[in-house]
Amino acid sequence: MVWPTLTRGLAEALRAAGIDVADRVERIELQIPREPDHGDWTTNVALTLAREAKRPPRAIAEAVAKAFPLAGGPFAAVEVAGPGFLNFRYGDAFLAALPARIASDGTTFGRSEFGRGTACLVEYVSANPTGPLNVVNARAAAVGSTLVRLLEAIGHRAEGEFYVNDAGRQVDLLGASLAARFAERAGIARAFPEDGYQGAYLRDLAAALPEAEARAALARPDGTAWFRDAALERVIEWQRRDLEAYGVTFARWFRESSLHASGAVDETLRALEARDVVYRAARPEVGGDEDEPEAAQGEATWLRTSRFGDEKDRVLVRANGVPTYLLPDIAYHRDKRARGFRHGIDIWGPDHHGHITRMQAALAALGAEPDFLEILIAQQVNLLSGGQPVKMSKRAGEFITLRDLMDDVGADCAKFFFLMRSTSAHLDFDLDLAKRQNDENPAFYVQYAHARIASVLRYAAERGLAASGEATPSAELEIPEARALIRKLATFPELVRGAAVMREPHRVPTYLVETAAAFHRFYHACRVVTDDAARSRARLAIAAAARQVIANGLALMGVSAPERMERAAEAAT
């Protein structure tokens, strides 16, 4: 990997130039410029250090350029440009050796040790076990699973986890809804609960219940618990199965109920009390609304989140003695730390973004490191069909599910579309476009490049030709399209590092589209399989390297890299 050697070389050159950056080597900004004229790597250290060094940036840059140890490294030249940028250019030897190196690295090309084995926990989807998964869950699943793979790729120990809210009011309501549906079937009068779950899936579920047992439960005063448990296990299993079909699995499905059972919830409350951030009162000491009639509900237990950046204090335990969702949630994050994770990343839906400050405040109140928890919001998804928004009503239980989406456009395509956009941005998902198996669909564009290369490699193999394991001859390296492709492939490790560090999975598909385009240009400029065996083998090595990088990138996304693609039967023309 180029990044560490470049960093070390720069630190050494800066020291020679009289500037010591020993303690902040990793903060040196290194970038791959988008403008090819600016070299293969660039840094602005001379500009950022000019002020403290009290020297003009260009003077620093000149000194660094002179002292930079080029010998034995990937670079052949370093130039000073503009106001004081340092631009590094790969030597031909480095580029020539790259295809063979990618071949030998195989699926590990792009990986690094940047994360030094730090344990990270990514919590995502974590949908309530009250119904099918929706499209935002689908988006979060694509983003979260990719994030786990990205973190692993840069050397973290990363795990994905699904937090199941299988306790509390929502699941009780689910039980009551199911009981009502069963009663309805059995011809027993029973009111459907207000705000109950309307979805048709509960009717199906009610039909599948063991008749006698359900009737008995219905007759008992505490019978909804039976229906709740029945519904819960069924729904969780559906969710797990759908996610599996989608290609997303978790290291652990963590049950909220286990926190109650183990006493972790009570323990967390005591830990907070010990830190003197809890009080009992009828209304909050900070942030209360004067005309809140709810104040009459009696004394609740409050957490002083307002001391840690929240606008008001929050209820941990209701006046009736039942904890709000917040307390077990704090217990859950406390548990993550106790399990040895040094860093947690949560991916939440758009309806939870108002909860970020209170969660962070709660963890601060607990004494957690300020950067322990990072929360990403997987923004809203608007489905478009025929150019019109698809109408959905969560209340009535009418919405497009993850399962519908997979049936409609396929898991690969759905994931690719979700990952194309930055997580925090609203997303318009054009179902018609995603369904189209043609050139308008970027998922197919990338997969097609992979299949096309695989096809060329097969064609070559039939003629007894295989990729060369030798350095690329300079005659090939001088072809602009070949050189551009190899340079693009060389940036993959840095792309992976950047996407992981910045928590921006969307950089991967963006890169893959560019890489696929670079390959297609190479393909058009250079016939790969010719009568010239040596040349053919060299070009096969370049093509094979491109295939490997595209495959590695698609693997990060959890999208398949097909060896061949059947053209779907053209619609009547």
Partner RNA sequence: GCGCCCGUAGCUCAAUUGGAUAGAGCGUUAGCCUCCGGAGCUAAAGGUUACAGGUUCGAUUCCUGUCGGGCGCACCA
Residues 220-279 that bind RNA (CB under 7 A): 256
Q: Which is nearer to RNA, 69 or 498 (CB)?
A: 498
Q: Single out the segment in contact with RNA by CB under 7 A; choices: 103-111, 145-153, 365-373, 414-422.
A: 414-422
DSSP string, 264-295: HHHHHHHHHHHTT-EEEESS-SSS--TT-GGG
Task: Please report which helix (H) or strand (E) contains residue 383, including its range.
Answer: strand 381-385
Looking at residues 188 to 217 of the shown chain, list those that interact with RNA (rule: CB under 7 A).
none
Q: Least distance from C-beta 451 to RNA, angstroms?
A: 4
Here the tokens at position 363 are: 């963890």
Binding mask 153-172 for RNA (x = CB under 7 A): ------------x--xxx--
531 is a contact residue toward RNA (CB under 7 A):
no
Q: Which is nearer to RNA, 226 or 492 (CB)?
A: 492
Q: Least distance from C-beta 309 to RNA, angstroms?
A: 11
* HSE toward the beta carbon, residue 392, CA cutoff 13 A: 17
437 is a contact residue toward RNA (CB under 7 A):
yes
567 is a contact residue toward RNA (CB under 7 A):
yes
Q: Single out the segment in contact with RNA by CB under 7 A; choices: 112-120, 237-245, 258-266, 422-430.
A: 422-430
520 is a contact residue toward RNA (CB under 7 A):
yes
55 is a contact residue toward RNA (CB under 7 A):
no
Phi, psi of 149 (to 5 degrees): -65, -35
| Cα 16–chain centre separation | 41
506 is a contact residue toward RNA (CB under 7 A):
yes
Binding mask 369-408 for RNA (x = CB under 7 A): --------x-xx----------------------------
Q: Least distance from C-beta 55 to RNA, angstroms?
A: 13
Q: Least distance from C-beta 96 to RNA, angstroms?
A: 21
560 is a contact residue toward RNA (CB under 7 A):
no
425 is a contact residue toward RNA (CB under 7 A):
yes
Helices 135-153, 533-557: crossing angle, 10 deg rounding: 120
Q: Which is nearer to RNA, 154 or 209 (CB)?
A: 154
164-194 burial, b at 16+ Cβ within 10 Å, e below that, comes to: bbbbbeebebbbbbbbbbbbeeeeeeeeebe
118 is a contact residue toward RNA (CB under 7 A):
no
What is the distance between the alpha carbons of residues 527 and 540, in angstroms, rounded to a whole number? Answer: 10
Member of 21, 77, 186, 282 binding RNA (CB under 7 A) = 282
483 is a contact residue toward RNA (CB under 7 A):
no
Q: Least distance from C-beta 329 to RNA, angstroms?
A: 7
Member of 24, 34, 54, 116 binding RNA (CB under 7 A) = 34
**Nearest Cα residue to 86 out of 17, 24, 1, 154:** 17
- Look at the chain and count its residues: 573
What is the distance between the alpha carbons of residues 313 and 287, in angstroms, rounded to a whole number? Answer: 6
Q: Least distance from C-beta 357 to RNA, angstroms?
A: 7
Place of tokens 């335990």: 317
Q: Least distance from C-beta 366 to RNA, angstroms?
A: 18
Q: Which is nearer to RNA, 214 or 451 (CB)?
A: 451
Q: Least distance from C-beta 122 to RNA, angstroms?
A: 18
**Nearest Cα residue to 254 out of 161, 191, 359:** 161
What is the distance between the alpha carbons of residues 317 and 303, in angstroms, rounded to a whole number? Answer: 9
What is the distance between the alpha carbons of residues 415 and 554, in angstroms, rounded to a whole number? Answer: 10
User: Strand runs (DSSP E) across 223-334, as ranges?
Assistant: 252-255, 278-281, 300-303, 314-317
Member of 8, 27, 220, 252 binding RNA (CB under 7 A) = 27
Q: Least distance from C-beta 187 to RNA, angstroms?
A: 31
Q: Least distance from C-beta 369 to RNA, angstroms?
A: 18
Q: Least distance from C-beta 306 to RNA, angstroms?
A: 13
Q: Is residue 502 classed exposed, middle or buried when 0-12, 13-18 and 19+ CB atoms within 10 A define those classes?
A: exposed
510 is a contact residue toward RNA (CB under 7 A):
yes
37-47 burial, b at 16+ Cβ within 10 Å, e below that, comes to: ebbbbbbbbbb
Say which amino acid occupies 222: D
Here the tokens at position 351 are: 């309806």
537 is a contact residue toward RNA (CB under 7 A):
no
Q: Least distance from C-beta 219 to RNA, angstroms?
A: 27
3-class DSSP state for residue 82? coil
Here the tokens at position 49 are: 């250090």
Q: Is residue 350 classed exposed, middle or buried when 0-12, 13-18 and 19+ CB atoms within 10 A define those classes?
A: middle
315 is a contact residue toward RNA (CB under 7 A):
yes
Distance of CA 395 to CAs 52, 117, 129, 181, 196, Å?
60, 44, 16, 16, 9
440 is a contact residue toward RNA (CB under 7 A):
yes
DSSP annotation of 401 reads B
Q: Least distance from C-beta 130 to RNA, angstroms?
A: 8
DSSP annotation of 570 reads P
Q: Single out the segment in contact with RNA by CB under 7 A; choices: 39-47, 154-162, 207-215, 366-374.
A: 39-47
Q: Which is nearer to RNA, 27 or 307 (CB)?
A: 27
What is the distance between the alpha carbons of residues 430 and 448, in angstroms, rounded to a whole number? Answer: 20
Size of the site for RNA (CB under 7 A): 101
Q: Least distance from C-beta 185 to RNA, angstroms?
A: 27
Member of 16, 21, 25, 33 binding RNA (CB under 7 A) = 33
325 is a contact residue toward RNA (CB under 7 A):
yes
Q: Single out the segment in contact with RNA by CB under 7 A; choices: 2-10, 94-102, 322-330, 363-371.
A: 322-330
37 is a contact residue toward RNA (CB under 7 A):
yes
